[in-house]
Amino acid sequence: MASRNQNRPPRSPSAKKDGIDQVPFDKRRKIGLGRTVGPASTGRMRQPFAVVNSRQDGMGNSDMGSAEGSECGTVEFTREEVEALLNVKFKGKQFDFKGKLEQMTEHIKRLKLCIKWFQQTEENHVLEKEKLQSVMESVEKKCMDTEVEMKSKVEELNLIISDLKKTVSSLEERVAKEESDKLDAIECHRKEKEARVDGEKLQALLSSDLEKTRQEKSAAERKAASFEDMYKRAQEYNVSLQQYNSKLQKDNETHSESLKRVEMEKLTIVENLSNLRCHNKALQDQLTSFKASQDEFIKQKESLSNELRCLRGELQQVRHDRDHQVTKVQALTAEVVKYEEFTGKSCVELDNLTIKSNALEETCSSQREQIRILQQQLAAANEKLKMVDLSASETRAEFEEQKRIVQELHDRLADTELQLSEGEKLRKKLHNTILELKGNIRVFCRVRPLLPDDGVATETAVIAYPTSTEALGRGIDLMQSGQKHPFTFDKVFTHEASQQDVFVEISQLVQSALDGYKVCIFAYGQTGSGKTYTMMGRPETSEQKGLIPRSLEQIFQASQSLQVQGWKYKMQASMLEIYNETIRDLLSTNRSNGLDVSRTENGVQGKQYTIKHDANGNTHVSDLTVVDVCSIKEISSLLQQAAKSRSVGKTQMNEQSSRSHFVFTLRISGVNESTEQQVQGVLNLIDLAGSERLSKSGSTGDRLKETQAINKSLSCLADVIFALAKREDHVPFRNSKLTYLLQPCLGGDSKTLMFVNVSPDPSSIGESLCSLRFAARVNACEIGIPRRQTTTVRPSDSRLSYG
């Protein structure tokens, strides 16, 4: 025991003053729940062992002796030396305790040196890492800046390029459009010209036709005039012929009268015929001549009539011709008018087209000018683009260079990270070794938020969290009457920490229950500090579920995913509470008035449960209901049943949930049929009753009895912790049901974690200080070495059973 005490770190005077067994920061920082299983880890601290050095002469007087003399920090260890140091075996005769003690002292000194060296190396590593990270960050920042700048430049350029491309394409489109317009206009112009020429030709033709027609018209008019003259003359001639005819008829009448007279005369003459025969003959001759002249006149008349008829026909023809010519003239006149109109229209159209053509020519020339300007602009833009390309390629080259540097730094960082991870592995191994040598219990502190019932403004906060690097996330300062009480734990959760945040920190611990470790998590703190909230929470809401439901969910999920590796798990759950130093089975189906009952020959009586620990450190409570569970659903219903059992007890006996200690136990047995491995883990999740000062509680009667029972069991817990901390020969585990139940967790080979729950309410500062002091003591307490329960089974023996 004396030699173990030499290994312990010196206590700070302030810690002593506070009555706290404080462990220095650096040492505690490495404290964790390692799970190294090997020849070294399976050995217990209390077992005798021999020292064997890596570069040794068999008695440990090796090169490491050089390290031994210089504690100032110039000593260095190689990996082999460290491993040799971790795997030392002490030599000597069986009962040469003195020799062995010396060897152990030597070995412990070397271990200290090694730990010191490692701490320095680790600090150096951390410093180097930080340096590298800062360099890396600055370079990455620079690089990112450059990248961002580049990106923005490239984007800008891309924008300019796209703008220019758009402009060019739009201009090209416009040019093409203008060209096509121009071509259309030219085509139109050409067509118009052709139409104009055709029109002109047509006009000329029409003009000549018109001229011809005019000539024809004038000829026709002349002809018509001549025909009219002729008609007039023919009419006149007709009139004269009619006059002549009437004259001839008159003459004929006169001649007839003359003939009559002649005949009369003939008669006279006949009378005077003879006389006148001659005369008659002459007269007859005269008559014949007259007849001949009459025939001739008749003939002449007939020929004149024929001529008149002809002339009339001719006149008719001329009239007809004239009418025809007049209609023709009229048609020609209309045609002339039409042509004149058409020619006028064509002229207007031609003028319009000429104007349009002129306008188009003007547009063409202006567009030609515009195209020229745009081409100039394009050339300038191309020039600019070239420049920009040049600068972009320069920037790209710079970027590539930066990228290369970043890559180099990445590589260096990866190397360093590799080194660090190697170091981390070594650190973990050393840490586990330290933990195993020290057998510490981990302590997490959780501060609940201020509740409306606290009735205190946040300004009067009495809890602060130090922000120094060494205490960040691990320190908590309690202010009481202007005095600061600093505490450091493995982890401190502020009032802002969620249930998930808390669970993340313990999930590894829960996982190790599946790996065959005994795991115990319990919550300690004054009434109303948040123990039940932390352990159970509100299982019905996913965000406020506590550690118990979350742990069980994880256990079932992990056990299922391990099935692919050949693992088969069997789980058994039990739940009990310790109320007034009495164990109560919360899953018992025979409950009466909140008490478990059993029927005996003498009638019904309360069950007496006894706690037993076997050689493997497994705890058994006689007659306790143990239920096989296969799913989280089953466990949830059991938890509900337990909650009901507790609440029944509460109602009947006017107790509060905090008036009893709640213990949930899950036994996990795993068999791997392929590797023939067997593990047995236990997960104990405990919600302790709330500590309360009698003076403050003002309890009386049953309530006073409960408070006294709680305080007694908690003070028994404190006694056990203090005895363990002082490494006393006798640890009073049996003084209370709670401590006896927790014996394997506190003094055995469990991985144990204590939550100390603290209320931020200033009126609770006294209790908070007590809780924190107690927790600090627990933190400094050395318990057994976590040991994994694993065996290799014969395939036929793979069925598990509990005693």
Q: Where do contacts with ligand ATP occur on this chain (CB under 6 A)? A: 448-449, 451, 525, 527-533, 656-658, 690, 757
Residues within the annotated binding site for ATP? 525-532
- Rounded Cα distance between 114 and 121, Å, is 10
Q: Is 184 exposed, middle or buried (0-12, 13-18, 19+ CB in 10 A)?
A: exposed
Minimum separation from the CB atom of position 152 to ligand ATP (A): 46
Minimum separation from the CB atom of position 453 to ligand ATP (A): 8
Minimum separation from the CB atom of position 449 to ligand ATP (A): 5
- Rounded Cα distance between 557 and 454, Å, is 39
Say whether 803 sits in a helix, a strand or coil.
coil
Cβ closest to ligand ATP, residue 15 vs residue 502: 502
Cβ closest to ligand ATP, residue 748 vs residue 760: 760
Residues within the annotated binding site? 525-532
CB 683 within 8 A of CB 575: no
- Rounded Cα distance between 623 and 43, Å, is 34
Cβ closest to ligand ATP, residue 103 vs residue 657: 657
Residue 12's region, left for phi above 0, alpha for psi from -120 to 50, else beta, is beta
Phi and psi at 684, nearest 5°, equal: -105, 125
Minimum separation from the CB atom of position 665 to ligand ATP (A): 19
Among 98, 104, 114, 120, residue whose Cα is nearest residue 66: 114
Strands 442-447 vs 491-493: parallel, antiparallel or unpaired: parallel
CB 485 within 8 A of CB 477: yes
CB 670 within 8 A of CB 679: yes
Strands 627-629 vs 567-579: parallel, antiparallel or unpaired: antiparallel
Cβ closest to ligand ATP, residue 571 vs residue 710: 710
Q: Which residue has the tokens 């023939």?
A: 676
Minimum separation from the CB atom of position 712 to ligand ATP (A): 16
Minimum separation from the CB atom of position 523 to ligand ATP (A): 7
Q: How far is CA 751 from CA 4, 490, 521, 668, in A?
A: 21, 14, 8, 15
Minimum separation from the CB atom of position 738 to ligand ATP (A): 14
- Rounded Cα distance between 25 and 569, Å, is 39
- Rounded Cα distance between 67 and 113, Å, is 7
CB 723 within 8 A of CB 735: no
Minimum separation from the CB atom of position 537 to ligand ATP (A): 8
Tokens at residue 119, please?
A: 């701490």
- Rounded Cα distance between 127 and 123, Å, is 6
Cα 74–chain centre separation:
53
Among 692, 712, 701, residue whose Cα is nearest residue 581: 712
Minimum separation from the CB atom of position 512 to ligand ATP (A): 25
CB 194 within 8 A of CB 346: no
What count of residues does the chain have? 803
Count Cβ neighbours within 10 Å for each residue of 230-245 and write b for 16 or more, e otherwise.
bbeebbebbeebeebb
Minimum separation from the CB atom of position 650 to ligand ATP (A): 11
Residue 76's region, left for phi above 0, alpha for psi from -120 to 50, else beta, is beta
Cβ closest to ligand ATP, residue 517 vs residue 533: 533
Cβ closest to ligand ATP, residue 103 vs residue 529: 529
CB 583 within 8 A of CB 609: yes
Cβ closest to ligand ATP, residue 178 vs residue 706: 706
Minimum separation from the CB atom of position 722 to ligand ATP (A): 23
Among 519, 788, 563, 514, residue whose Cα is nearest residue 669: 514
What is the sign of the dihedral through the CA atoms of 554, 555, 556 and 561? positive
Tokens at residue 627, please?
A: 């239920």
Minimum separation from the CB atom of position 543 to ligand ATP (A): 11
Helical packing angle, 765-779 and 701-725, nearest 10°: 30
Q: Is 57 exposed, middle or buried (0-12, 13-18, 19+ CB in 10 A)?
A: exposed
Minimum separation from the CB atom of position 707 to ligand ATP (A): 11
Cα 594–chain centre separation:
54
Say whether 677 sits in a helix, a strand or coil.
strand
Tokens at residue 303, please?
A: 């020929």
Cβ closest to ligand ATP, residue 118 vs residue 579: 579
Minimum separation from the CB atom of position 760 to ligand ATP (A): 10
- Rounded Cα distance between 514 and 504, Å, is 17
